[in-house]
């Protein structure tokens, strides 16, 4: 009995002998269930990688024992025989939730419903009637609640995330557009207020390269400081989204890089366009400006 195992909220899932084969999920360590494991014998368990990491961090869980507590009632001890990757996240279960799989047994208490998972060689949507007939051959009184493809079930389960994800993408695009326009306007306004200074420098013989360097140094310094603060704040806020994302990092370097490039481009145009316009103004006219 392990003394270093940790308690955590764990999903208990009962599966048949071909469950992992149907999902094409070979064990990362140990083995998965065989037909002999479903005919009795000591309680065995296959766990996912998250549970293995939580219960025995840095150790091999094969051969370890684990017990599931249902409320205040302690269940039987399971011996871990295998570890599989984290599988099939849903709205009720995230991708990194701990899961313990136990083999289905014929002498187990009846359940309210059973899900049958099948891998087909043809389009699965075309086999709905065939599955219903097979169930009827086993038990004519056994109702078939729903026949659907796994893709459709996952799509239905995740539609709120797709809807809200699309909304957030639109809002984010609008916010980026407003930020880009606003940044360009602020930088350009700051440069245009220096038209008189630029005229004086031109009158004193300053070169175009030196004026552009002066304008870009001041404008890009402000943009870089604002961008750095914004990226730090975004990195902190996006950590809260980690539990809602599957297979996507909330701190995606590509997204951060694109946003930073767009904003820096806006700041660059905000410096370059007004500066070139100011350098074309006659120095005498620039000196008379308030």
The DSSP result for 117-130, as a single string, is ----SS-GGGGHHH
Q: Which among 100, 135, 157 is the end of a domain?
A: 157
Is the pLDDT at 4 greater than 70, yes or no?
no
Length of the chain: 290
Residues 174, 81 within the same domain: no
pLDDT band, very low/low/confident/very high, at 46 (cuts 50, 70, 90)? very high
Alpha-carbon span 212 to 162, nearest angstrom: 46
Q: Is residue 152 part of a domain?
A: yes
The SS3 of residue 177 is helix
Alpha-carbon span 128 to 163, nearest angstrom: 28
Q: Which among 77, 111, 145 is the end of a domain?
A: 111
Alpha-carbon span 281 to 132, nearest angstrom: 82
Q: Is residue 209 part of a domain?
A: yes
Burial category of 269 from C-beta neighbours within 10 Å (exposed 0-12, middle 13-18, buried 19 and up): middle
| Closest residue by Cα to residue 134 from 126, 142, 145 | 142
- Helical pair 208-238 and 195-203, crossing angle rounded to 10 deg: 150
Extract the tokens encoding 279: 């350098």
Q: Is residue 104 part of a domain?
A: yes
What is the distance in angstroms between the CA of the first residue and the CA of the last residue of the chain?
Answer: 85
Residue-wise pLDDT tens digits, 234-264: 887 777 766 666 556 667 788 888 888 998 8
- Neighbour-count burial for 157-171, b at 16+ CB within 10 Å, e otherwise: eeeeeeeeeeeeeee
Q: Is residue 282 part of a domain?
A: yes
Half-sphere exposure for 274 (CA within 13 Å, toward CB) = 24
| Per-residue pLDDT at 84 | 93
Residues 67, 149 within the same domain: no
Summary mean pLDDT of the chain: 80
Is the pLDDT at 83 greater than 90, yes or no?
yes
Residues 102, 18 within the same domain: yes
Rounded percentage of the chain residues whose pLDDT exceeds 70: 84
Structural domain that includes position 164: 158-288
| Closest residue by Cα to residue 93 from 210, 13, 195, 25 | 13
Q: Is residue 4 part of a domain?
A: no
The dihedral of CA 134, 137, 140, 141: what is its sign?
A: negative
Is the pLDDT at 91 greater than 50, yes or no?
no
Of the ranges 2-6, 70-74, 105-109, 224-228, the best mean pLDDT one:
224-228
Residues 163, 212 within the same domain: yes
Residues 91, 135 within the same domain: no
Residues 41, 72 within the same domain: yes
Q: Is residue 188 part of a domain?
A: yes
Half-sphere exposure for 58 (CA within 13 Å, toward CB) = 1
Rounded percentage of the chain residues whose pLDDT exceeds 90: 12
Alpha-carbon span 132 to 113, nearest angstrom: 15
| Per-residue pLDDT at 80 | 94
Alpha-carbon span 93 to 89, nearest angstrom: 6
Is the pLDDT at 1 greater than 50, yes or no?
no
Residues 171, 283 within the same domain: yes
Alpha-carbon span 163 to 249, nearest angstrom: 19
Q: Is residue 101 part of a domain?
A: yes
Domain count, the chain: 3
Residue-wise pLDDT tens digits, 143-202: 887 888 888 877 777 787 788 878 988 998 898 899 889 888 888 888 777 777 777 777
Residues 274, 163 within the same domain: yes
The SS3 of residue 101 is strand
DSSP 8-state assignment for residue 28? S
Tell me the sheet residues that pair with 103.
15
Residues 101, 142 within the same domain: no
Residue-wise pLDDT tens digits, 98-136: 899 998 876 666 677 778 888 888 887 788 888 888 888
Task: Considering only residues 284 and 123, tell me which one the structure prediction assigns the higher pLDDT.
Answer: 123
């Amino acid at each position: 009995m392990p003394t270093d195992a940790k308690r955590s909220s764990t999903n208990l899932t009962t599966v048949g002998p071909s469950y992992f084969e149907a999902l094409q999920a070979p064990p990362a360590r140990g083995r998965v269930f065989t037909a002999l494991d479903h005919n009795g014998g000591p309680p065995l368990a296959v766990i996912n990688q998250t549970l293995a990491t939580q219960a025995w961090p840095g150790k091999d869980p094969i051969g370890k024992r684990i017990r599931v507590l249902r409320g205040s009632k302690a269940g039987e001890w399971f011996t871990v025989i295998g570890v599989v990757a984290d599988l099939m996240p849903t709205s009720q279960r995230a991708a990194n939730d701990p899961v313990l799989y136990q083999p289905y047994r014929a002498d187990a208490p009846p359940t309210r419903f059973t899900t049958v998972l099948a891998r087909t060689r043809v389009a699965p949507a075309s086999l709905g009637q065939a599955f219903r007939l097979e169930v009827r051959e086993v038990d004519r009184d056994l109702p078939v609640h729903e026949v659907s493809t796994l893709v459709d079930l996952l799509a239905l389960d995740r539609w709120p995330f797709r809807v809200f994800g699309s909304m957030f993408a639109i809002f984010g695009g609008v916010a980026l557009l407003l930020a880009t326009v606003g940044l360009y306007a602020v930088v350009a306004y700051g440069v245009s207020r220096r038209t008189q200074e630029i005229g004086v420098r031109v009158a004193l013989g300053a070169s175009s390269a030196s004026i552009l360097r002066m304008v870009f140094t001041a404008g890009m310094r402000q943009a870089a400081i604002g961008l750095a603060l914004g990226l730090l704040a975004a990195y902190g806020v996006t950590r809260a989204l980690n539990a809602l994302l599957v297979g996507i990092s909330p701190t995606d370097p590509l997204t951060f890089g694109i946003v930073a490039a767009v904003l820096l481009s806006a700041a660059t145009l905000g410096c370059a366009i007004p500066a070139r316009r100011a350098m074309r103004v006659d120095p005498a006219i620039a000196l008379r400006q308030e």
